[in-house]
Amino acid sequence: QSGVSEAVVVARPAASSPTLALPTQLSDESVVERVCAGEVEIFEVLMRRYNQRLFRVAQSILNDELEAEDVLQETYLRAFVHLESFEARAAFSTRPPTIAAHEALGRRRKRNRCRPSEDSASHLDRAPASAPSPERRAGSRELRRALEAAIQALRPSYRVVFVLRELEGMNTRETAEVLGLSRTLVKVRLHRARRALRASVDERLGCDVGELYGFYLERCDRVVAAVFERLGAVEVGSAS
The confidence score (pLDDT) of residue 219 equals 78
pLDDT band at 175 (very low <50, low <70, confident <90, very high): very high
Contacting residues for 193 by C-beta, under 8 A, at least 6 apart: 154, 158, 159, 161, 162
The confidence score (pLDDT) of residue 203 equals 46
Considering the entire predicted model, what is its pTM?
0.66
Is the confidence at residue 173, as pLDDT, over 60? yes
Cα angle, residue 100 at apex, residues 146 and 13 outer, rounded to 5°: 100
- pLDDT, tens digit, 9 for 90 and up, residues 97-108: 999 999 999 998
Would you call 6 helix, strand, or coil by DSSP?
strand
C-alpha 21/C-alpha 42 separation (Å) is 9
**Which has more pLDDT, 76 or 234?**
76
Which DSSP symbol is given to 234? B
pLDDT (average), residues 225-230? 86
Contact 84, 36 (CB under 8 A): yes
pLDDT band at 185 (very low <50, low <70, confident <90, very high): very high
Question: What is the average pLDDT score of the chain?
Answer: 75
How does 174-188 read in b/e, with b if 16+ C-beta sit within 10 Å? bbbbbbebeeeebbe
Contact 177, 94 (CB under 8 A): yes
- pLDDT, tens digit, 9 for 90 and up, residues 6-58: 333 344 444 444 445 677 888 888 898 899 898 999 999 999 999 999 999 99
Is the confidence at residue 77, as pLDDT, over 90? yes
Following DSSP, what letter does each residue of 19-58 receive, concatenated? T----TTS-HHHHHHHHHTT-GGGHHHHHHHHHHHHHHHH
Is the confidence at residue 70, as pLDDT, over 90? yes
Contacting residues for 106 by C-beta, under 8 A, at least 6 apart: none
The confidence score (pLDDT) of residue 160 equals 92
Which DSSP symbol is given to 204? G
Is the confidence at residue 158, as pLDDT, over 90? yes
Q: How many CA atoms lie within 13 A of 231 on its CB side?
A: 28
pLDDT (average), residues 166-182? 91
Cα angle, residue 217 at apex, residues 213 and 220 outer, rounded to 5°: 75
C-alpha 167/C-alpha 148 separation (Å) is 12
The confidence score (pLDDT) of residue 72 equals 94
pLDDT band at 4 (very low <50, low <70, confident <90, very high): very low
The confidence score (pLDDT) of residue 14 equals 45
Using the Cα atoms of residue 120, residue 126, residue 130 and residue 136 in order, give the sign of their dihedral: positive
C-alpha 209/C-alpha 235 separation (Å) is 39
- pLDDT, tens digit, 9 for 90 and up, residues 187-221: 999 999 988 887 776 545 444 455 556 666 777 88
C-alpha 60/C-alpha 104 separation (Å) is 9
* CA 79 vs CA 26, 32, 96, 156: distances in Å: 18, 10, 7, 25
